[in-house]
Amino acid sequence: MGQFFDAKDKTFVITGGASGLGAEYAQAFLQKGAMAVAILDISEETGKLTASRLNKLYNEKVVFVKCDVSKEEDIKNAFDFVVVQFRQIDVLINNAGIMNDAPNMWRTACDVNWQGVVSFTLKALKHMNKKEGGAGGTIINIASTAGLKVFPCLPIYGGSKLAVVHFGQNLATDPFYENSGIRVLTLCPGPTDTPLLHNLETRSYDPSLGKVFADTVGGSNVEYQKVESAAAALVHMFENGASGSTWLTVENRPAKDITPV
């Protein structure tokens, strides 16, 4: 059990780790002594820059792997590559996500936010499962408070995040994974100051609703949570979250106030 709760000497894979919250998660776990971190991202330029910044700070512990999580072949290649590099993956953080409810983007949004999470998780479950010769591990899925309650004009984003919440909760209580040495955690961050929330109007299903959303949820009326706060909450969950199942919401509160439920 104790093996779960310490980042020290563990290997991490973080999808969407090039920017925003993913990059912050990478830094937070490196600070906690992670042995190696693989940043997987569709954006090669940003991914390489982030890896190089972190490598200067943390003695070459970071590798960048270009991967589009909506593409099955990319997922397979990236996963296999990291297993060869690190020998084993101890922690998978399914963080890559897009907020785009425009009509021509729904399939991509579902593929990135939902299918990418499923595909990576299934690979990790097989790789980590002690009953199949694995070493155990932790899978953390990043959902959103938009998956727990209804925000205006986010049907695709909200639906995909709700799916991520249920997926994690189901796996965490699935008797099939008893004694597998795997725990599944789900984090639901609230609005956080990252590139994801910029230019909302151009990415909404209905531009006028998009404006409402921007004004009420992501606009000047709302104080965004800082990325450091969401990362601190994730570390808190990693270090304290029960084996088998934990999920935790972060709604613009400091991490110390957050209790896993």
Catalytic positions are 157
Q: Which is nearer to ligand NAD, 111 or 177 (CB)?
A: 111
Q: Interface with ligand NAD includes 163 (CB under 6 A)?
A: no
Q: Which is nearer to ligand NAD, 68 or 101 (CB)?
A: 68
| Residues near ligand NAD (CB under 6 A), total | 29
| Residue among 115, 129, 138, 194 that touches ligand NAD (CB under 6 A) | 194
The contact pattern for ligand NAD, residues 10-29, with x = CB under 6 A and - = no contact, is -----xx-xxxxx-------
Token digits of residue 128? 């980590």
Quote the least distance from Cβ 161 to ligand NAD, whole Å: 7
Token digits of residue 249? 């919401």
Q: Which is nearer to ligand NAD, 35 or 224 (CB)?
A: 224
Quote the least distance from Cβ 77 to ligand NAD, whole Å: 13
Q: Interface with ligand NAD includes 185 (CB under 6 A)?
A: no
Quote the least distance from Cβ 10 to ligand NAD, whole Å: 21
Q: Which is nearer to ligand NAD, 142 or 177 (CB)?
A: 142
Token digits of residue 189? 């961050």
Q: Which is nearer to ligand NAD, 19 or 180 (CB)?
A: 19
Q: Which is nearer to ligand NAD, 67 or 185 (CB)?
A: 67
The contact pattern for ligand NAD, residues 33-62, with x = CB under 6 A and - = no contact, is --------xxx--x----------------
Q: According to the 3-state scheme, what is the secondary structure of the chain?
A: CHHHHCCCCCEEEEECCCCHHHHHHHHHHHHCCCCEEEEEECCHHHHHHHHHHHHHHCCCCEEEEECCCCCHHHHHHHHHHHHHHHCCCCEEEECCCCCCCCHHHHHHHHHHHHHHHHHHHHHHHHHHCHHHCCCCEEEEEECCHHHCCCCCCCHHHHHHHHHHHHHHHHHHCCHHHCCCCEEEEEEEECCECCHHHCCHHHHCCCHHHHHHHHHHCCCCCCCCECHHHHHHHHHHHHHHCCCCCEEEEECCCCHHHCCCC
* Residue in 78, 81, 82, 37 with CA at minimum distance from that of residue 55: 37
| Contact positions with ligand NAD (CB under 6 A) in 83-142 | 95-98, 112, 142
Q: Is 1 helix (H, G, I), strand (E, B) or coil?
A: coil
The contact pattern for ligand NAD, residues 140-159, with x = CB under 6 A and - = no contact, is --x-x---------------
Q: Interface with ligand NAD includes 255 (CB under 6 A)?
A: no
In the complex, the residues that contact ligand NAD under the rule CB under 6 A are 15-16, 18-22, 41-43, 46, 67-70, 95-98, 112, 142, 144, 189, 191-192, 194-197
